[in-house]
Amino acid sequence: MATRRVVQVYLDLLSQPCRAVHILLNCNKIPHTVRTVALRKGENRTPEFTKLNPMNRVPVMEDNGFVLTESDAILKYLAAKYDVPEHWYPRQPEKRARVDEYTAWHHNNTRPHAAKVFILEVLVPAQTGSPVDEGRLIRALSQLDDTLDKLESMFLRRQPFLCGDDITVADLLAVCEVMQPMGGDRDILKERPQLQRWRSRVQSAVSESFDQAHAVLYALRDRRKAKL
Amino acid sequence: MSLELYLDLFSQPCRSVYIFAKKNNIPFEFKNISLLTGEHYEEEFGKISMIRKVPAMRDGDFCLTESIAIMLYMVQKFKTLDFWYPADLQQRARVDEYLSWQHMAIRMHGSKMFWLRLLIPKVMGVEVPQEKLDAALEDLNGSLKLIEEKFLQDRPFIAGDHMSLADLVAIVEIIQPVGAGLDVFEGRPKLSAWRDRVETAVGKELFDDAHQAILGAQESVKMMDPSKMQLFRPRILKLFM
């Protein structure tokens, strides 16, 4: 009988959804191997990776031949398969619905709006050598501001975490997006104490796996700061 | 007390929720919210959905937005048949994968095409540059190609042999540009065959009932009042133009 391999994940830790998957795996001590895919080096466009994922995106999970893309799907699969503590993706219908509501809303809101700030401030200038497009950045920050307002007033409200009293996969997805502009040394939660406190609670809940996942992002920030 | 579903059948995610509830005989009260006349800005609706989006659901004291969350809630609460959202982890993951991917792909591209081809020029009276239409079509074609090549491949349905939430969510988005007069099924035999299977699985009567409004859009825009769209006109133009 062939030995079952541990689950394999293809990640670039500069990618927000990759970090969410990384944190879930590590703080639940789920046995896994990480294969690094450096997007900036085009490692997602190799024939080998394209065969694995024709959309050339990360994260990708491979479980003994079963290949899965999309961080939402991967997080939910891992939570179910490895029987992690229930709070990550609660079973009770109303509680689960709150997590599903957030993970759906996230795609069109937190994810693109936080990513855009990072893309405009860090990625585009790095790739093109041109200065930051200030006009577009201001508009992106304004849009992000609206989204953070909603994150606070619609989801967090007076709760400890986005979907209730305990941390869920929703918090992982959100926190990783909110951290991304840190790569350009921008803390988008600077003027938002409520969300800052939420972020701290998330960090505490996942302990060292937070900084482990974000090490590459911090290094990027530090390199950029050193250049200034 | 039964569920209340706040819906506008012009909206794709409202159609998937409607079809799902009806198909599964889930008792609900249909609360019509006409987006194009700004009914989602009314005070009462703001209490159900803070961000004023449809579909929205109220089950007693519990209010919920996001069509996927609403349908998954109904799956659990009403214990619908397994194929909608399989208990098998890998099959379920396939459904989740599609439901996740589609937000920023077919949903976005189908919506944009509908606005650019129909509502913006014909109701808002704003001319849409050809390059914008061309770019939107290219994006839409890209999404349709991925649906055929990655999500369907040679399977009858997205998750395998049976229809699931993935196919329902897919079909309502794909029909949206059809409502603007774009036949996305032409030249796509695989997609057409899948569409026929989905229609059969849902039941033609229910399928047609849910899609009547959108498929009649080209006619109904002639009677639409652009002044009712003033509240969201700037946002729409900013988003799509």
Tell whether B149 is within 8 A of chain A (Cβ). Answer: yes
For an interface test with B, which of A9, A75, A77, A92 has the most B Cβ atoms less than 10 Å from its Cβ? A77
Return the sign of the alpha-carbon dihedral for residues A182, A186, A188, A189.
positive
Which chain B residues have a beta carbon less than 8 Å from that of A104? Answer: 66-69, 99, 103
Compute the mean pLDDT over every residue in chain B, rounded to the nearest whole number: 95
Q: Does A151 touch chain B (CB under 8 A)?
A: no
Taking the C-alpha atoms of residue B167 and residue B198, their distance in angstroms, rounded to an integer, is: 7
- Confirm if B52 and B45 have CB atoms less than 8 A apart: yes
ipTM: 0.96
Residues B113 and B219 in one domain: yes
Where does a domain end: B59, B80, B101?
A: B80
Position B56 pLDDT exceeds 70: yes
In the sheet that B62-65 helps form, which strands lie side by side, from edge to edge? B28-32, B3-7, B56-59, B62-65
Report the pLDDT averaged over residues A145-174.
97
- Residue B116, domain extent: 89-240
Q: Does B239 touch chain A (CB under 8 A)?
A: no
| A154 in reach of chain B (CB within 8 A) | yes
Give the pLDDT of residue B231: 81
Distance CA B157, CA B170 (A): 11
Query: Of B80, B105, B123, which one is at a domain's C-terminal end?
Result: B80
- Final residue before a domain boundary, out of B53, B80, B107: B80
> Do B73 and B93 belong to one domain?
no
Residues B118 and B220 in one domain: yes
Which burial class, exposed, middle or buried, applies to B104 when counting CB atoms under 10 A from its CB (0-12, 13-18, 19+)?
middle
Question: Based on C-alpha coordinates, what's the Rg of chain A?
Answer: 18
Please list, residue by residue across B210-237, b when 16 or more beta carbons sit within 10 angstroms of its beta carbon and e when fewer do: bbebbeebeeebeebeeebbeebbeeee
Is residue B54 within 8 A of residue B7, CB to CB? The reply is: yes
> What's the pLDDT band for B227 if we cut at 50, 70, 90?
confident
Tell whether B161 and B129 lie within a shared domain. yes
Average of pLDDT values for A161-167?
A: 98
Residue B167: the pLDDT is: 98
Residue B94 maps to which CATH number? 1.20.1050.10
Query: Of all residues in chain B, what percent are helix, strand and coil, respectively (each to 5)?
Result: 65, 10, 25
Question: What tokens does B150 get?
Answer: 């990655």
Which residue, among B96, B147, B149, would best test binding to A if mutated, counting the most A CBs under 10 Å from its CB?
A: B96
Chain A residues inside the 8 Å CB shell of B150: 54-55
This prediction's pTM: 0.96
Same domain? B102 vs B71? no
| Band (B1; pLDDT cuts 50, 70, 90) | low
CA B132 to chain centre: 22
Whether B97 and A70 lie within 8 Å, measured CB to CB: yes
* Chain segment A89-131, per-residue pLDDT in tens: 999 999 999 999 999 999 999 999 999 999 999 999 999 999 9
B45 near B6, Cβ under 8 Å?
A: yes
Q: How far B183 CA lies from chain A's nearest CA (Å)? A: 25
The beta-carbon neighbor of B76 closest among A81, A96, A153 is A96
**What's the CA gap between B16 and A75, in Å, rounded?**
24
Same structural domain, B110 and B229: yes
If one counts the domains in chain B, the total is 2
- Do A154 and B73 make contact, defined as CB atoms within 8 angstroms? no
CA dist B227 and B229 (Å) reads 5
Q: Of B45, B43, B41, B47, which is closest to residue B229 (Cα–Cα)?
A: B41
Q: Which of A69, A100, A154 is closest, CB to CB, to B97?
A: A69
Under DSSP, is residue A138 helix (H, G, I), strand (E, B) or coil?
Answer: helix
Q: Does the distance separating the beta carbons of B96 and A76 come in below 8 Å?
A: yes
Residues 6+ apart with CB under 8 A from A88: A24, A28, A79, A167, A168, A169
Tell whether A66 is within 8 A of chain B (Cβ): yes
Contact B64 A154 (CB under 8 A): no
Query: Is residue B147 a contact partner of residue B210, using CB atoms and an 8 Å limit?
Result: no
What pLDDT sits at residue B2? 83
B140 token code pair: 């839409």
Six-digit token pair at B76? 């659990």
CB A144 within 8 A of CB A156: no
Answer yes or no: do B100 and A93 touch at CB < 8 A. no
Shared-domain flag, residues B44 and B101: no
In this complex, do A94 and B62 lie within 8 Å of one another by their Cβ atoms? yes
Which range is least confidently modeled, A125-129, A131-135, B17-21, B232-236?
B232-236
B73 and B113 inside one domain: no
